[in-house]
Amino acid sequence: MTGSPNSAAIEVTGLARTYGSGDAAVRALRGVDFSVSSGEFVALTGPSGSGKTTLLNCLLGLDRGDSGSIEVLGTAIDQLSYEQAVEWRRQNIAIVFQATGLIPHLSGHENVDVVLRIKEQLSRSERRDRVDATLDALGIGDLANHLPEEMSGGQRQRFAIARALVARPAVLIADEPTGELDSDTAQAVLAVLRTEASNAGTTMVIATHDSLVADSASRLVAMSDGQITEVGNE
């Protein structure tokens, strides 16, 4: 399926990915068909080892399938060169992964601001307002001047989410973004994500074991053993 750029934000067809070969081969994805409309908030669930992270890595062009096709925002991400994929991600996608990826020698505020400096032409005060608003929404405004090592795991996780949201990306891909949050904090963070999806039209795919995320999503997609086994309705 080729699809016009606006038909779906994400369109995955027949995606297969096998790690290793021979007796050691692991079929992490076995023919995945998966499509996400623009502005949808999809929770990707399924047991450990079912292929969620593998699918997200393929969507991001960080890993390649052995067969099948992937289009994100109308771009065949699996056809791009390494350099093209790096630039394409920078322009279009925000990522929240299990390892938060904060820069250790920058404060919380600077870690978020750096994304705006790269992506947008804003004045210093516009950037400051945008960063402050994002940190406040996520309940971490009072930690703006702390270094990552001076934060708890859950606080770092929220800074990673702030980095992802601050530039209002077209697509946000997250892997267990609430794994280190207590349920009240997770609820608050999910409310921010939901608001962002509806206001900024950000398309979100979030892999999770957290039932709170699943409840917040506009649609649930379940994986099992490298395949999509259940697709909820909006």
Q: Which residues bind Mg ion (CB under 5 A)?
A: 52-53
Residue pointed to by tokens 């991400």: 77
26 interacts with ligand ATP by CB under 6 A: yes
Nearest distance from C-beta of residue 119 to ligand ATP, angstroms: 28
Phi, psi of 31 (to 5 degrees): 80, 70
Say which entry of Mg ion, ligand ATP, none residue 54 contacts (CB below 5 to 8 A, set by partner kind): ligand ATP
At residue 219, the 3 state secondary structure works out as strand
Cα distances (Å, whole numbers) of residue 188 to 53, 181, 210: 24, 10, 14
The string of DSSP letters for 152-215 reads -HHHHHHHHHHHHHTT--SEEEEESTTTTS-HHHHHHHHHHHHHHHHHT--EEEEE-S-HHHHH
Nearest distance from C-beta of residue 77 to ligand ATP, angstroms: 17
- For ligand ATP, what does the binding mask look like between residues 40 and 79, x meaning CB under 6 A? ------x-xxxxxxx-------------------------
CB nearer to ligand ATP: give 7 or 18.
18
CB nearer to ligand ATP: give 27 or 146.
27
Say which entry of Mg ion, ligand ATP, none residue 89 contacts (CB below 5 to 8 A, set by partner kind): none
Cβ(38)–Cβ(233) under 8 Å? no
Task: Provide the binding-site residues for ligand ATP, judged by CB under 6 A.
Answer: 19-20, 26, 28, 46, 48-54
